[in-house]
Amino acid sequence: MPRGRSGSGMPAPFNPPTPSCCTCMAMREPGWGDSEGSPSERGMTSDAVFLYQWLKERIGKKPLYIWGHSLGTGVATNLVRHLCDRGTPPDALILESPFTNIREEAKSHPFSMIYRYLPGFDWFFLDAITANDIRFASDENVDHISCPVLILHAEDDTVVPFHLGKKPFPHYPL
């Protein structure tokens, strides 16, 4: 489960409420929380692919669902696009508070509220994200996803606005 960035890291051990028939595995993004390394979209997606393959080898034909939350929805859609493009989609994709792409999310994020109206905001903040090859383009990935998708998003979400969660998925009820 790729997670969002609202916390510095998951408490150890991570024990989400899951039925006894299920196992939940979460990944920590490199360079965030207490994880080593440097954060990058390519690195997080590569780690997600590795984790998926590792887990799939161990569970065999049992169902495997990908769940992404907030920033983790960008990683999850990257992963699922990769899997669908190679003809091995997961059993389902669950997106909690998804967004269109990181550029639109950064522009809508509460932290950018006081800066977004200043001259040069796009160049200084948004273009820098793009120049570092950070896109998390769920709005592009969705056209490649062939597995069932469940979207969870609160209309009063103040971090990822509801309209950014709905926009890439016009054919899915929200």
Topology of domain 41-166 in CATH is Rossmann fold (3.40.50)
118: tokens are 């200043």
Instruction: Look at residue 12 in the predicted model and tell me its pLDDT.
Output: 44
Higher-confidence position of 111 and 37: 111
Q: What is the pTM of this model?
A: 0.85
- The H-or-E segment that residue 109 falls in is none
Euclidean distance between CA atoms 66 and 90, whole angstroms:
7
What is the arithmetic mean of pLDDT over 120-147? 93
What are the Cα distances from residue 34, in Å, to 8, 29, 72, 75, 142?
Answer: 8, 9, 17, 19, 31
* C-beta separation of 74 from 95 below 8 A: no
Residue 36's pLDDT band, with cuts at 50, 70 and 90, is confident
* C-beta separation of 37 from 30 below 8 A: yes
- The H-or-E segment that residue 96 falls in is strand 92-96
Instruction: Look at residue 77 in the predicted model and tell me its pLDDT.
Output: 98
Instruction: Look at residue 14 in the predicted model and tell me its pLDDT.
Output: 47
Residue 9's pLDDT band, with cuts at 50, 70 and 90, is very low
92: tokens are 């389902």
Given the structure tokens 């709005």, which residue do they identify? Answer: 139
Residue 39's pLDDT band, with cuts at 50, 70 and 90, is confident
Euclidean distance between CA atoms 107 and 116, whole angstroms:
7
For the stretch 54-96, pLDDT in tens is: 999 999 999 999 999 999 999 999 999 999 999 999 999 999 9
Decide if pLDDT at 10 tops 80: no
Residue 142 DSSP one-character state: G
Q: Helix (H, G, I), strand (E, B), or coil: what is residue 31?
A: coil
What are the Cα distances from residue 74, in Å, to 64, 121, 174?
Answer: 18, 23, 18
